[in-house]
Structure 1
Amino acid sequence: MKNIDQIIKTLTLDEKVSLLSGFNSWYTNKIEKKNIPSIKMSDGPNGVRGDSNSGKSSACFPCAISIGSTWDLSLIKDIGIALGEEAQAKDVDVLLGPTINIHRHPLGGRHFESFSEDPFLTGKIATNYVQGVQSKNVAACLKHFVGNDTEYERHSISSNIDAQTLREIYLLPFEMGIKEGNAKVVMSAYNKLNNIFCSSHQDLLIKILKEEWGFDGYVVSDWGAALETIENANGGLDLEMPGPSNVWGKALIDAVRISEVSEKLIDDKVKRILTVAEFSNRFQKPEIKAEQAIDQPKHRLLLRKAAADGMVLLKNEGSLPLKKNIKKLAVIGPNALEAQIIGGGSASLRPHYQIHPLEAVQERLGHEAEILYSKGCHTHKYLPKINEELMEEKDGFLVEYFDGNQFDKNLILEEHLTGSKFWVFEGFAKDVLSNEKRPNISVKFSCKYKPDISGLHEFEIFGIGKCRLLIDGNELIDNWTSMDPGEAFFTFGSASKKGVINLQKGETYKIEVQYNFEGNFPAVYIGCQTPDEVDIFQEALETASNADEVILIVGTNSDWETEGNDRADFNLPANQNKLIEAILEANQNTIVVINTGSPIHMPWEKKAKAIIQTWFAGQEFGNALVDILSGEVNPSGKLPTSFPVKIEDTPAYKHYPGKDLQMNYEEKLLVGHRWYEANSIKPLFCFGHGLSYTSFNYKNLEVATGSDFVVTCKFEIQNTGDISGLEIAQCYVGPASPIPGEPCKTLQGFIKEEIGAHELKKVEIKLGPRNFSFWSVETNAWQIREGSYQILIGSSSENILLQANINLEQALEVR
């Protein structure tokens, strides 16, 4: 074990401060002569991407809301262990996850990236996730601390939250992750909390996190969130990322020398960072190793199980599991051939492989039935990539980098790149940017393109910087002389501009995109939509009419649900609702599969016989879906978030995302299911809802209060069906007499049990003092009110099946 205090004594002030800012996007600075190594950090929430420039693939895990839907703490710990093993393969010290912000509003851009609307469920998941990751000596990073619940103006908006709501809703998962999970790193959010930047919030980072909760790790800024030198330092931030330093470095050294920041505080920051380096064994392995892409069979099995267990059967009127005698099975929808397995932004990565629904259905069910397919409609927010198979050279665009403003002089290098989105965080221009002497770069993308269909082709370009698109030397799109702000590339990109041109099949055209960037964050998008050979909407209807049963797979993609911007609409993109209505009319034996990361409007819900919510289920999506459809796996997922009938029903609707950069949390404690019950608003599907292919009966609740205020709830669950199933029993606690402004009941316990066919199983849920407590602003502590409390056991927040009351004869302060 290193004597970190002794190491710090040997460091100069300049050396200490150098350790408090990153070296680049993912590494901290090192001091070789003092044997202090770099710490390596990596996104992300549903897989370990590693260094973006390595190009190595990674295991793609189900997104957080999918993991939240499992309600399976043992499985979640196994997922954490697997993430730790993935981090080891990428030589990563700190995994930047889990994201444990609350589902405050269903249009939040990172809704898919957080576990739940419920703070208790989120905290339990976070604790087990962290314990799993850190069992491999990889530090887990809880983010984003705190109130980062919208992507709208996230760098400057203030989340205004009263003290009781802050403690009971938004801080609770972090408190559990620190106290129970012992998380080693916390990431401060971009936003302000009550008009103080979270990276400068002394009450939040020092008084609560470090002093009250005993957090001994380091606080890292979200990337680019450190904006203030002295305020960040005195407010509790420990590490500024990314590097090189923006607000610390020399400015922080000067602040220490004039006593605006104490050197003792600098020492504490250094100690915290080096403590994490010691935890990850980086002192014993200081050399950064090459990243590896290890596709482990055991991870494949785990991710397939997690994906299936996270899928929620919302509705089933006897359509599922699929019958064995189907002769023609149609797979229809924009997410059938290529589903969305991952959300956008820091969650993205390059997966080892992807199993999509149509492929899995054909492989598993194709020997029993004829499989029909039709896309039905396009749902892109940005146009798809140009088909490289139609380029004269099949290896993508020729990309030429020039020093200066001209596209034919001072060539630096050239390479071939495929795809549509080219930006620095995915390796674009990495070799050019490594040369610090090149401040102004012009880039030319070019290819010879031979269409395989005649008609109107629509092209699209936008980026961080000026760009234009030419066909055979003639400008088609000008996003150069005039640019509007856009949503893409974390809102730093220009707005999309499009152009249409008539191209002929078999003719060769030269496509050229000219792009100029200044600075270190190049990004450009190039898209093209070709004409359809047939009317794909009408084709889908005919396909559905000719099938015995239909699997209709609709959803979003990582452009619609992403870090950087919130969704603008509660509806499915494009004309998917119209497609669903038409397919349900054409074939009543239709199973609607929803491939989104958040709730959506379902105006067709009453017409559908079966609905499955799959979320973004990771690399094993297709296999897991067929496991559920075929009945090989009995669905057991339950919603970790409420599905409203309409967006106007949601708790924050009237004050989201705020006004004049002020976002007031006026719903206060009534978040999610608490709101719907308190306001007698019936959601479309309630929190905790999820069906099975079997059925369960609850009975014989016994509640006993023991010493130290431990309440034991014992009851029985019987599987009344003919197949084994997993059931999630939920325990809610509420005051017998309603308290104005407070929820009727709150989730305080749950258990997931496998119960065999016709088996009767005795289960037990234990509650402690904190499960009955509230945050008192008068005493600044957790307290229990005297009086009568209801213990409510059920299969969802609405379906309460057992009830008992207990009396607390005196008020109690909880330590």
Structure 2
Amino acid sequence: MFEDMTVESSKFLLFDYFPKGAKEQLFYLDMEGDFTPEVTGEYAFQESCLGTALVFVDGELLIDDKNNQVLGNAAIGASSKAQIKTVHMEAGKTYKIRIEFGCGKTFTLTTHDLTSSNGGGFFAMGYKLQRSDDDLMKEAIETAKSADKVVLCIGTSYDYESEGFDRKSMDLPGNQEKLVSEVLKANKNTIIVNQSGTPVTLPFIDSTPALVQAWFNGMESGNAIVDILYGTVNPSGKLPLTYPRKVEDNPAFLTFKSNNGHVIYGEDVFTGWKFYEKTKIAPLYPFGFGLSYTSFEFSDLDVKLVDENLVATVKITNTGSVAGKEVAQLYVVPPTTTTAVERPLKELKGFAKVALEPKETKTVTIEVPYKYAASYYDVDAAKWHAEAGEYGVLVGNSSASEKFLEGKFTLKKAELWTGL
């Protein structure tokens, strides 16, 4: 034996691990632990690894991921396909779990670099008490009925969206849409917290009092969400993308995937909010949008060219009763009658965030090199092209602000340039 250690999780990565005293990175690891269920029932155990593994419960082999391996897609295709086995367990009884793990060098289903350069491999195992969807739904509904207010957490996980593969659907996995609808019927005072890395379909949004888009925020995500819900912190986030109502509204919907191995970027320059403005498709939420527990007012926009820069100043007032932060977003509208190419209706060129106490006003300055504010890439000239003409300037709190402040500037002479 080379080493004795204690691990706190049934999922661990050993990519950079090398046993003390070992002469080569070929080793075997035996793990033992106790599991005491709180509820009697059928428990499903799921396991996957880069290496080999045998899982025993009270000395009986439950999962054989050594002699019956199938190639899976975790770890960029260098892992075994997850195996799921079910075992009956009694509440209060302690079961001995034993795992016999062979490092990544023992994995023979692929010659992927991970098996040679990171021979430690990895192991992951979890469990779930088997319960029917109907039972879980009934429990959620009854819990919602008995509560004054409900915080309902929904979303996806790295099993549904991560690197190396595309999502199969924009819809929430499983029966989550039905769950939300039933809980909203049971208790109208329901706050939805969605944790996903990308937009999901929200058909229930019109009957939802409040929605928190929490994304994937790591180990402190729970504390951050609680701070927002209880008002300890005033939310000030803004969407870094446009949130569509349905998958068919996405700019790349018609050209998604490849055509005989060729990827077609059919959106051209009309990506994100630029597509929605061009097609006049109303998204669920626009780019740059985000609510606050207070309110803000923009005023006194001033736009001018100073030396090589476009300089815009705007006053922002916190008109509410609590401290908060707001983001001023500057969009430039290209000349509509003289431009030589088709361009978006407007383009984001700068932004600035400001913290304001109740009733406080501050002047915010957004400064952008005029060449960046005005230019597009001229393919024929192989240079950036700042066209001559009159440009519009819009400043607001999102790409679809209801109260844009408007300004303008003029470039008297066209300019071709290189570099960034």
TM-score tier, shorter chain, comes to 0.7 to 0.9
1:299-328 deviations in Å (ceiling 9; x for gaps)? xxxxxxxxxxxxxxxxxxxxxxxxxxxxxx
User: Out of 314, 317, 321, which is 1:715 matched to?
Assistant: 314
Does the 8 A contact of 2:49 with 2:122 survive in 1? yes
Task: Report if the CA contact (8 A) 1:464-1:492 is conserved.
Answer: yes
- Is 2:327 the partner of 1:724? no
Equivalent positions of 1:427-506 (< 5 A) are 430-431=18-19, 435-437=22-24, 439=26, 441-447=27-33, 449-505=35-91
2:372 matched residue in structure 1: 770
Residue identity opposite 2:375 in structure 1:
S
Q: Map 1:120-139; keep pairs closer than 5 Å.
A: none
Question: What's the CA shift string for 1:304-359, capped at 9, x where partnerless?
Answer: xxxxxxxxxxxxxxxxxxxxxxxxxxxxxxxxxxxxxxxxxxxxxxxxxxxxxxxx
Q: Compared with structure 1, are the counterparts of its residues 537 and 758 closer, same or farther at alpha carbon in structure 2 (3 Å cutoff)? A: same
Q: Does 1:598 align with 2:201?
A: no
1:46-195 equivalent positions in 2, closer than 5 A = none
- Structure 2 distance, partners of 1:741, 1:464, is 50
Residue by residue, what CA displacement relative to the aligned partner does 1:409-465 show, whole Å, maximum 9, x if unpaired?
xx555544342223214x6x5316x734354x4444444555443321212222123
Tell me if structure 2 keeps the 8 A contact 1:490–1:565: no
Could you give the per-residue CA deviations for residues 353-396 of structure 1, whole angstroms, max 9, x where no partner exists? xxxxxxxxxxxxxxxxxxxxxxxxxxxxxxxxxxxxxxxxxxxx
Contact 1:719 1:757 in 2 (8 A): yes
Q: Which residue does 2:389 correspond to in 1?
A: 787
Paired residue secondary structure (2:74): coil
Corresponding residue SS for 1:542: helix
Deviations 1:225-263 (A, max 9, x none): xxxxxxxxxxxxxxxxxxxxxxxxxxxxxxxxxxxxxxx
For the residue of structure 2 that corresponds to 1:601, the secondary structure is coil
Which residue among 394, 417, 420 is the counterpart of 2:7?
417
d(CA) in 2 for partners of 1:468, 1:619: 30
> Aligned AA for 1:712?
V
Aligned in 2, Cα 1:414/1:814: closer, same or farther, shift over 3 Å?
same
SS in 2 for 1:431: coil
The Cα offsets for residues 1-59 of structure 1, whole Å up to 9 and x where unpaired, read as xxxxxxxxxxxxxxxxxxxxxxxxxxxxxxxxxxxxxxxxxxxxxxxxxxxxxxxxxxx
SS of residue matched to 1:490: helix
* Separation of aligned partners in 1, 2:407 and 2:39: 69
Corresponding residue for residue 198 of structure 1: none
Equivalent residue, structure 2, for 1:747: 348
Please give the per-residue CA displacement for 1:767-815, whole angstroms capped at 9, x wherever unaligned: 3222111122223222201222211111110115122333323211235
Matching residue of 1:286? none
1:681 to 281, 306, 309: 281
- Greater mean alpha carbon deviation, residues 640-649 or residues 549-558: 549-558
Corresponding residue for 2:266? 666
Q: Does 1:648 align with 2:248?
A: yes
Aligned partners of 1:720 and 1:757 also within 8 Å: yes
- Give the letter for the 2:48 counterpart: F
Match of 1:734 in 2: 333
Other-structure match for 1:394: none
AA matched with 1:766: E
Matched, 1:530 2:129: yes
Tell me how far 1:645 sits from its aligned partner: 0.9
CA contact (8 A) 1:748 1:771 kept: yes
User: 1-side partners of 2:25 and 2:328: how far apart?
Assistant: 61
Can you give the 5+ residue segments of structure 2 that lack an aligned partner in the other structure?
106-115
- Secondary structure of the residue aligned to 2:286 is coil
Identify the residue that residue 412 of structure 2 maps to in structure 1. 809
1:660 CA displacement: 5.9
Contact 2:349–2:372 (CA under 8 A) maintained in structure 1: no
Q: Distance in 2 between matches of 1:804 and 1:522?
A: 59
In structure 1, give the amino acid aligned to 2:22.
N
- Distance in 2, matches of 1:506 and 1:728, equals 54
Q: For 2:183, what is the secondary structure of its paired residue? A: helix
Q: CA deviation at 1:476?
A: 3.3
Distance across 1 between alignment mates of 2:417 and 2:342: 22
Q: How big is each residue's C-alpha offset from its partner over 1:69-88, in whole Å with a ceiling of 9 and x where there is no partner?
A: xxxxxxxxxxxxxxxxxxxx
When residues 761 and 569 of structure 1 are mapped into structure 2, their CA distance, relative to the original with a 3 A threshold, is same
What is the CA deviation profile of residues 717-750 of structure 1, one whole-angstrom value per residue up to 9, with x for unaligned ones?
3333333332211110121317655321110111
More strand by share: 2
Once the two structures are superposed, residues 591-626 of structure 1 have per-residue CA deviations (whole angstroms, 9 ceiling, x without a partner) of 112233332221111110111122233454344333
Q: Secondary structure at the match of 2:151?
A: strand
Q: How many Å apart are 1:685 and its aligned residue?
A: 0.7
Distance 1:636 1:509 in 2: 48
Alpha-carbon separation, structure 1, partners of 2:247 and 2:194: 18
The 1-side partners of 2:163 and 2:376 are apart by: 33
C-alpha deviation, 1:588, in angstroms: 0.9
Q: Is the 8 A contact 1:487 1:565 kept in 2?
A: no
Post-superposition offset of 1:528: 1.9
Q: Which has the higher helix share?
A: 1
Cα deviation, residue 628, structure 1: 2.5
With over 3 angstroms needed to count, the CA separation of the structure-2 counterparts of 1:704 and 1:435, relative to structure 1, is: same
* Closer, same or farther: CA 787–587 of 1 in aligned 2, 3 Å: same
Identity across the alignment (%): 34
Number of the residue aligned with 1:539: 139
Q: Secondary structure at the match of 2:312?
A: strand
Output the CA distance in 1 between the equivalents of 2:34 and 2:366: 66
Determine the structure 2 residue equivalent to 1:354.
none
Equivalent residues of 2:192, 2:210 under 8 A apart: yes
Inter-partner Cα distance in structure 2 for 1:763 and 1:442 = 61
What is residue 108 of structure 2 aligned with on the other side?
A: none
Query: For 1:84-116, what per-residue CA distance to the aligned partner results, in whole angstroms no more than 9, with x for missing partners?
Result: xxxxxxxxxxxxxxxxxxxxxxxxxxxxxxxxx
Local SS of the residue matching 2:173: coil
User: Relative contact order: is structure 1 or structure 2 higher (C-alpha 8 Å, sep ≥ 6)?
Assistant: 1
| SS of match in other structure, 1:677 | helix
CA–CA separation in structure 1 for the residues paired with 2:24 and 2:288:
57
TM-score, scaled relative to structure 1: 0.45
* Native 8 Å contact 1:773 1:814 kept in 2: no
2:110 corresponds in structure 1 to none
Q: Following the alignment from structure 1 to structure 2, what is the Cα–Cα distance between the partners of residues 505 and 724?
A: 50
CA pair 807-461 structure 1, distance change in 2 beyond 3 A? same
2:399 to 797, 803, 807: 797
Partners of 2:268 and 2:234 in 1: how far apart? 37
Change (3 A) 1:545 1:513: same
Q: 1:660 to 1:423 in 2, by over 3 A?
A: farther
Report the counterpart of residue 113 of structure 2 in structure 1: none
- The one-letter code of the counterpart of 1:489 is A
Partner of 1:200: none
| DSSP-derived class of the 2:328 partner | strand
Aligned counterpart for 2:359 among listed residues 742, 758, 761: 758
**Corresponding letter in the other structure for 1:797:** S
**Secondary structure of 1:582's aligned partner:** helix
SS of the aligned residue for 2:251 comes to: coil
**Amino acid across the alignment from 2:311:** T
Distance 1:505 1:610, change over 3 A: closer
Given the alignment of the two structures, is residue 701 of structure 1 paired with residue 301 of structure 2, yes or no?
A: yes
Contact 1:729 1:750 in 2 (8 A): yes
Cα shift at 1:485: 3.0
2:165, 2:231 → 1: CA distance? 38
Distance of 1:661 and 1:811 partners within structure 2: 40
Q: Secondary structure at the match of 2:285?
A: coil
Say if 2:168 is the partner of 1:568: yes
Once residues 723 and 442 of structure 1 are traced to their aligned partners in structure 2, the CA distance between those partners, rounded to angstroms, is: 59
